[in-house]
Amino acid sequence: HLKKALEFSWKKRGPHGLLLGLAADWNDCLNLKGQGESIWSTFLYYLGLTEFIKLAAYLERTADADHFRAYCKEIKDRINEYAWDGQWFLRGYLDSGKKLGGQESEQSKIFINSQAWAVIAGVADRERLVQAMDSLKALLATEHGIVKNYPAYQEHIAEVGAITDFPPGLKENAAIFCHANTWAVI
């Protein structure tokens, strides 16, 4: 079952070799349909690959470990090429190919999920991971907790999705989610 799940996700990658968002990833208010890619899902997939490889090695299933090691290397290369935005990790790519959660984004430029999960999954070198968390602290941390994205969306953007329809600070649009905050703690 684990191998089938890893193979399914491998076959569902977009133009940058990152996982497609499909109907939704963790945040179903983001529109990642079509060729939209979820960097958060890609980080989760990378972590799943590394854990599977450890399990396969423990069970002495060398062929399985080697097979998925190749996937792991490819995904990590794609992450380091396409997910880093200079100071933090992108949240994804929209169907049009526009970056989501990057310095070039029309509105919201950084998301908590990408920074925390990059560290949890260990997808990059320490310097880059520390920089991502420093950016999270500088841009997302408030006295009440870490907001999901910054700055909050102010205008509707159909391509981005329903997240842009909520008032700033409500629900998925720059609110504080306790469980997302625990990822940053981890």
Catalytic residues: 28
CA distance 173 to 135: 18
Start-to-end CA distance of the chain, whole Å, equals 28
Spatial CA neighbour of 5 closest among 58, 55, 62: 55
CA distance 90 to 115: 8
Structure tokens that stand for 148 in this block:
């999901």
Q: Are 79 and 151 within 8 A, CB to CB?
A: no
CB atoms within 10 A of CB 15: 11
Spatial CA neighbour of 25 closest among 41, 12, 13: 41
Cβ neighbors of 102 (< 8 A, separation 6 or more) are 85, 90, 91, 109
The answer to whether the peptide bond before residue 151 is cis (omega within 30 degrees of 0) is yes
